[in-house]
A = this chain, B = another copy of it.
Amino acid sequence: MTILSRSLIFLLVAGLLAMSFAKPTRVVFFGDSITQAGVGPGGYIDRLKKMMPADQFELIGAGIGGNKIYDLFLRMDDDVLAKQPDVVVVWVGVNDVWHKATFGTGTDPDKFVKFYEAVVKKLKAANARVILCTPATIGEKTDFSNQQDGDLNQYSQLIRDLAKRQNLPLVDLRKAFLEYNLKNNPENKEKGVLTTDRVHLNEAGNQFVAEQMQKVLMEGGK
């Protein structure tokens, strides 16, 4: 079955569900400053709202600047579970890595996994389908010479492994961003391709993330 036909079936089923229950799928985007900005005009969540059928999907942002995985854990009751989401898209990791260098308060890789697992466990217990994302970028150079590349690659792999272990859908933004930059960043610039400042999304970045998210959201949270 092709992705297209699976998407169509998903849309059909979602449509039927929408008709029968008159209630769209509620999706909460749970993350850091990138997601906080995502709800603004032109942000990736704002774009997704226009890209996805409004009667079938209700999209809610729950991003707070500077958040690491354990911040998500600490505030998930109030900011996510209280909203009774059907789907939660977790996108975190940049600050867990970055804060090592800028504050000395990054997250150890093994603790990153433990808290990520604790977040997933609690979301599942609340009957939310969980979609994981890898952290996209701290610097867009494509030769792995951005200071945090080593850690971002490591933590992304930890998230991929977790998604696999628990059979969860994954939006592999780190992989997607690298591939995009390999094509579109021949000068090896550190920002300005998909980001404004090495981390936060510019217009192209918000559009690109919206498209990556859409693909997985349409597929599912099956």
Interfacial residues, chain A to chain B (CB-CB below 8 A): 70-71, 74, 99-108, 111, 114-115, 118, 139, 143-151, 153-154, 157
Interface of chain A: mostly helix, strand, loop or mixed: helix
- Asked, given contacts A101-B100, A104-B100, whether A148 binds B145 with beta carbons under 8 Å apart, the answer is no
3 interchain residue pairs of minimum CB distance: A100-B104, A149-B150, A145-B153
Which listed residue, B105, B118, B144, touches A153 by the CB 8 Å rule?
B144
Q: Supply 4 further A-B pairs (C-beta < 8 A) apart from A100-B103, A105-B106, A149-B153.
A: A100-B104, A102-B102, A102-B103, A144-B149
Rounded to whole Å, the gap between the CB of A173 and the closest CB of chain B is 16
Copies in the complex: 4
Docked complex Cα distance between A151 and B103 (Å): 13
Rounded to whole Å, the gap between the CB of A131 and the closest CB of chain B is 23
Docked complex Cα distance between A145 and B153 (Å): 5
Asked if B144 and A150 make an inter-chain contact with CB atoms under 8 angstroms apart, the answer reads yes
Which listed residue, B104, B106, B111, B150, touches A145 by the CB 8 Å rule?
B150
Docked complex Cα distance between A150 and B98 (Å): 13
Asked if B105 and A71 make an inter-chain contact with CB atoms under 8 angstroms apart, the answer reads no
**B contact residues around A111 at 8 Å (CB):** 70-71, 74, 105
Asked if A105 and B103 make an inter-chain contact with CB atoms under 8 angstroms apart, the answer reads no
Q: Which residue of B lies closest to A108 (CB)?
A: B105
Docked complex Cα distance between A35 and B30 (Å): 37
Q: Which residue of B lies closest to A138 (CB)?
A: B150
